[in-house]
Amino acid sequence: MSSTEDLDYPQILFQYNHGFLVSKVMFTACELGVFDLLLESEGPLSSDAIAERLGTSASGMERLLDACVGLKLLGVEMKSEGAFYRNTEFSNLYLTKSGPKSQYHHLMYYSKTVYFCWHYLTDAVRDGKNQYERAFGISSEDLFGALYRSEKEMIKFMYFLNSFWSICGRDVIAAFDLSPFTVIYDVGGCAGGLAQECISLYPNSTVTIYDLPKVVQVAKERFVPPEEHRITFHEGDFFKDPIPEADLYILARILHDWADDKCMQLLAKIHKACKAGGGVLLVETLLNEDKTGPLDAQLFSLMMLVHTEGKERTPTEYSKLLTAAGFREIQVKKTGKFYDAILGKK
């Protein structure tokens, strides 16, 4: 075991402090369109050419591009005329708007919304509640009224959530064999990214996205093609309105938004509506039982403090909620990725 003398504390602190700077470099390059421009170009471009096309200063762009090279987000070729920059495979895949696994909208939501709220993390820890009022001057008494404080902000969130499912959705949908469940409700299914992963893996199933009317309207217009008849919609507030009968209910990134009493209210309501032999699938980032990790879950739990009324939980904590609501045969699957899955049956 290493002693404290073996640890280079200044270097560790330096790396932690640089985490913010690294994120901002990536956010800025995405926002300015660096990766999209290089994807569309016929070959590598000089920093002057990139600056001219994107309308930035030459000196600022050169420094940004060099930082992206250092982060391995860009490659560089040295020619007699100077440095010429190109995307890496990673950037083409994840950082361009049109990439097959694009995280552009995810990164922009972090840059414009999440990071702004995290400025008030100290206040959130002191107060024990989210910081929408300080960050945006809006009451969070209605949590999703604050989250969807404008149509533009709601659409940004929907793109943000969909980008997650493009890289994490298949893992959680495949964690258990869901083929026996043919009538599925994706409760709070938002833009439908997880529903599309579900019908892709289980073609004999139909998925109904249950969400607020304004969310459903945008999902129909922007995200789910009208010819996809295996995905349907149900407008409603799942706390206030009836939940129809189904074989399986998916709650993906839902319970972590709410305190235990609200979670119990929703789970009990779902249990009552669920067909005999049916079930509920929870998709969440699970803490270890002793809460010593993983780091992603610990950080995400802090995010829930800053943004919501909820928290991340351990498998046992979720199992207790499910059992109290009447579910049985509870199974937990760690995917090894960002999200895990818990299945409970009626």
pLDDT digits (tens, 9 = 90+) for 221-240: 999 999 999 999 999 999 99
- 16's tokens: 């932690």
The one catalytic residue in 105, 256, 271, 307 is 256
Q: Is residue 119 among the annotated active site residues?
A: no
Q: With DSSP H G I counted as helix, E B as strand and the rest as coil, what are the percentages for the chain, rounded to 5?
A: 50, 15, 35
**What is the per-residue pLDDT across 148-162, written as a single tens digit (0 to 9) for each?**
999 999 999 999 999
**DSSP H or E segment with residue 235:** strand 231-235
The whole-number pLDDT of residue 20 equals: 85
The whole-number pLDDT of residue 1 equals: 42
The whole-number pLDDT of residue 141 equals: 85
The whole-number pLDDT of residue 18 equals: 78
pTM of the model: 0.91
- Residue-wise burial string across 259-295, b where 16 or more C-beta atoms lie within 10 A, e elsewhere: eeeebbebbebbbebbeeebbbbbbbbbbeeeeeeee
Instruction: Report H helices in the chain.
Output: 9-32, 34-40, 47-54, 58-70, 89-94, 104-109, 115-118, 121-127, 132-136, 143-147, 151-173, 193-201, 213-218, 260-273, 295-307, 315-325
- Kindly tell me if the per-residue pLDDT of 82 is higher than 80: yes
Half-sphere exposure of 282 (CA within 13 A, CB side): 32
Question: In whole angstroms, what separates CA 31 from the centre of its chain?
Answer: 19
